Structure 1
Amino acid sequence: MKVLEVENLKKSLGKREIIKNISFSIEEGEIFGFLGPNGAGKTTTIRMLVGLIHPNEGSIKICGYDLKKDTEKALKEVGAVVENPELYKYLTGRENLMQIARIRKIPKKSVEETIKLVGLENRIDDKVRKYSLGMKQRLGLAASLLSNPKLLILDEPTNGLDPSGILDFREVVKKAAKEKGMAVFISSHILSEVQHLCDRVAFINHGTIKSVENVVNDSMKTDTDIICLNLTKEIDLNLLKNIEYIKSVRKSEDGIEIILLSNTTPKLIKYLVDNNFEIEEIYKIRKGLEQRYMELVEGGIR
């Protein structure tokens, strides 16, 4: 089932077109990444998804409800964590959640289940002012999960977290998506984090989605491969630069770094052997999402 459907979305501020006819959808239980540089249109898109601003054209449907026509029904299915969540620091974690539960008429049993889901059982009765940033992020996530939303929107959720906090947060999000069957939309600048967390990724730049691609086994299909080559003798790099399927060649600390068309490494090895190059070592440098990001968003590998 499609939890989120975005079709032909456009948004202008004054004469400047911020979002230019973007479309994508997210399935139940899927974690969907939204990647792009500053000013690409990520925040504007998120603000439209949560109903803070309205598009000039296009539609947003959440669980089949049109966000413009059935705003209340659509937003009832949404939970969101936008950067650092607002919490009452003088209350305990449990008291914060119970405040929300009372307003939304959520049973205490659901509160306890959510506390367990985000792994805060041992610290839930401490004052929030004693929480680390990672614990505050967990509590914010718990608050967004209380109403059992079908769509969870996370905007830069790991900002300021240390590596341990990022790993913990990742596992909580994966668990929530799997156990509750939620669709998760996550916008982040941390490429490696998106690669490890997401099932699919949309690349956006200048208000346009360049591509929507699958992440398989923490890696992605790329247009080019990057290999490192070490030879026993120095050579003129122009001999390699003139090969048609090679994009670029440069010397690095590890050897000769070559960017070539995807799946042409065997051809290069044959060429080297046939022309009596003495190969000491050759291996592929796997950059996955980082490499694909540079291809689509930055226009090439730096």
Structure 2
Amino acid sequence: MIQIQAALFWAYGIGATFALSAGRQLQWWERSVHGEGVRTRSRAANPYLALTLLFAAVLMVPTGLFLLWQNPSWATMHVATGHDGVWAGFVLIYAGGIVVGTLLGFLAAQALVLVGAGYWAYLQCVGGYFLLFGTLIHGWDGTGYRRMLTTSTAAYRDWPKDSVVNHVLDFLTSGTFLALLVLGAAVIGTMLLTEIGWLVEGWKLPGADEDRRVPQLLAVAIAGAGVHGLPFLGALTASILMHLLGGPLGLALFAVLAGFALLARRSPVRWLYGLVGVPARHWKADLEDPVLTSDRSG
């Protein structure tokens, strides 16, 4: 549903976010399988993994291919001017890459959640979305926002000849933007409902809600801001610093700021993460579930 250069980053971020949202349930699933003694259920039978891949295959891939066909210039950030400029094999790689990227993001975050490194699973989400927004805002040559807000190669080349307001108005009244609205309602709406639903579902598991330190509505808002808002702000800040100070110096300064915000032991992001109550312990360290105990004893 977005431009091809950013699509794989978005896929990875979505996969990681889905796994983090279902972190409690994934721990529950791992405990239940482990409790059977002999593994009788395949990891591929994990319902959260299956639903994540279904989301990627049914919503992300078709909508992306639709926009690629409708406006190949915009979908390729004006690298290609039309259908003739898009190699057929690239379309195949793109379609498969979305599903594979989502799978990798989910598996990486799930592995971290199951070993008690939930915060590092969260950083997988931040990293994927930062690269997504960085591509859309800055791109590879500092003109990412221009490529996103123009629907044709000619308009992109003529950007300096007109005002930003006129370019934005042209984009908002284009068929490409209308397609984005319709498709975005389905893709992003389903994505947010899934993330929120799995997060709330996890809080309902026995003992899970004890780690949440704020009301549910506020916890959902903090989680949304941390996964989606923070990477956008980071990408915008990095782009501004690179424009002002040059690429190497701007990136170096941003890396220092990001390290303080994300990795410092008492960083504000770590503190906010702790308010939401996403799992931070190893699944084996939790108390054994009484339901599983009674089932085995019976």
Give the TM interval when normalised to the shorter protein.
Answer: under 0.3
Greater per-residue helix proportion: 2
Larger-gyration structure (1/2): 1
Greater per-residue strand proportion: 1
Give the TM-score of the pair, scaled to structure 1.
0.22
